[in-house]
Amino acid sequence: MAKKYYKNYERENSATPREQFLKEFTDTLIKRMEEIQASGDKWKKGWMNVGMKSARSVDNHFYTGENRWYLNFVASMCYETNVWGTFNALTSLKGENDEKILINKGEHARTILKPYEVYYLKKDERENNPDKKSFISASEYEKLKEEEKELYKKTIGFQTIKVFNVDQTNLKDVNPSLYKKFDNTKELDVDLTNAYKFKPLDELMEKQTWLCPIKQKAQDRAFFRPSTPEIVVPTKEQFKSQPEFYSTLLHEMAHSTKIEVPRVCGGGFGSPDYAREELVAELTAAFTGTDLGITTIIEQDNSANYLSAWLQALKEDKTYLETILSDVNDASKIITEHLEPYMPKKEQEISAELRTTDVELAVARVFSAVSQINEVTESINPIVIEEKNKVELSNELSPNQVEIIKSYAEAMGGNFNPGTENEKPSISFDQGSAFSPKICASIIKGETKENILKMVQEQVKAHDTSVKQNIKPSQNKRVSKGHSI
């Protein structure tokens, strides 16, 4: 029995980072579908809780893409907040009386992905270049001669990062004031005076700027007709609730994105392809609706026809969700881009305010991590080299020192590279990070917390100024949200 268990464990842990992520996401989606199926017509919830702000880290960096969708899904099912952090990020926080922040017993982390560039030796070049590495990092690639670069091709790799929700810790008990800063109530852009209204969608329909005409007709069906093409939905007054109208509209808009990005949709009603297309539309409406603050209603009569097929496909085909998410991402992006001209600017302002007002929290967290680094300061201080995009460290670091440096880099949101025979260990930062190589090196060298705080605030201000000068007005909201995974 033990031998069999070990083999299963070995097989599970040999999965790639993306396979690990997709398995967790699939399991979560299956759990939600089984809840819906078991409840029958008693299910009154949407796919997710739209009252929550979008998933973000403890230092207020918003997660993006599939990471955001997954964490939004989990938070709406399991937690009161949608704020996340790594083990080191959370445990480096402190209670009001300097108590330790602890992960609650029995809790387990969620997997998210961090992409990075990696270069591989082209297949037809391997035989003639046996001395060349099969895979090299982006920094190694940049050091190659131009003719050597031609031997390699870029691809994207993924690193898994384990995160916990703030509600999985004792933070609420030992530091309620800080927990309150993670207020999860979202200001929804709806008019509740007379009836629920979502103005951006109303304006898009009024001005008919979608991919195809959208028509409201007094009849009992909502559909996208590819042959015309056009979307037809019942009038608002025919729906039991106004959110149900917008939910249905988003669903049909998701179908109609096939005009711009074709999808395989062969087969008639009840076929696997038909059910797959319905799941793409359901999840597009759910994820996009959550971002917009629209409750996407699950239509029992409609979804019941597909739940069994979805569950079977998700359980039997481990690649099923990956292909679904690819189509959902395309469809969601098209909807978001078409709504952007009608979105209020206040969301961009709120996001910018969140980042700047919580800079001090981020710095405090980093300085807490620095308390662990004191023991290695002397050994690395003389050879910290500030470069344009990274901080090089000593290649004489011990394994213990490496672990401490990795924790420190992670606390700052940096990327730690352990180095190679020809490359020193280093810490680098994504463009737009609140930290930078200069700030990182200054902390290691012993700069005061007050001065570091000023440097970080200047860094954020400079970045925001640069963003405003280089993007179109309609892009402001999206850019200001995203400096994280």
> How far is CA 128 from each of CA 61, 91, 124, 146, 459, rounded to the nearest angstrom?
46, 50, 8, 17, 47
Report DSSP letters for 41-95, one per residue.
GG---BSS-TTBPPPEETT-PBP-HHHHHHHHHHHHHH-S--EEE-HHHHHTSB-
Single-letter amino acid, residue 375 = E
Report DSSP letters for 193-239, one per residue.
SSS-B-HHHHHHHHHT-SSS-EEEESSS--EEETTTTEEEEE-GGGS
Single-letter amino acid, residue 279 = L
Please give the model's pTM, rounded to 2 decimal places. 0.63
To which H or E segment does residue 120 belong?
strand 110-121
pLDDT score at 166: 94
Choose among 313, 223, 68, 289: nearest CA to 298.
289
> How far is CA 255 from each of CA 97, 292, 326, 340, 471, rounded to the nearest angstrom?
54, 18, 14, 19, 30
Backbone angles phi, psi at 215, to 5 degrees: -120, 135
Q: Tokens standing for 202? A: 């109303």
> How far is CA 249 from each of CA 36, 164, 227, 241, 261, rounded to the nearest angstrom?
21, 35, 19, 13, 19
What CA–CA distance (Å, rounded) separates 32 from 105? Answer: 24
Cα distance between the two ends of the chain: 40
Q: Tokens standing for 185? A: 């109530």
What CA–CA distance (Å, rounded) separates 88 from 91? Answer: 5
> How far is CA 262 from each of CA 89, 255, 256, 259, 337, rounded to the nearest angstrom?
42, 10, 10, 6, 18
Task: Report the length, in residues, of the chain.
Answer: 485
What CA–CA distance (Å, rounded) separates 39 from 353? Answer: 41
pLDDT score at 475: 34
8 Å CB contact between 269 and 276: no
Report DSSP letters for 384-426, one per residue.
-EE-SSEEE--TT--HHHHHHHHHHHHHTT-EEE--BTTB--E
pLDDT score at 15: 75
Q: Tokens standing for 441? A: 């090196």
pLDDT score at 114: 86
Beta carbons within 8 Å of 427's beta carbon, 6+ residues apart = 390, 391, 393, 405, 409, 412, 414, 415, 416, 417, 437, 440
Cis peptide upstream of residue 272 (ω within 30 degrees of 0): no
pLDDT of the chain, 485 residues: tens digit per residue = 444 433 443 444 567 888 899 999 999 989 888 887 787 666 666 676 666 778 889 887 888 888 988 998 899 888 989 999 999 889 988 888 889 999 999 999 999 988 888 888 888 888 888 888 888 888 888 888 888 888 898 888 888 899 999 999 999 999 998 888 886 655 444 443 334 578 889 999 999 999 999 999 988 888 999 888 999 999 888 887 777 888 889 999 999 999 998 887 666 666 788 888 989 998 999 888 888 877 776 655 555 568 888 888 999 888 889 889 989 999 999 999 999 888 875 433 333 333 333 444 445 545 544 444 444 444 443 334 444 567 777 666 667 667 766 766 666 667 777 777 777 777 776 655 556 677 776 766 666 766 777 777 676 666 555 544 443 333 333 322 222 23
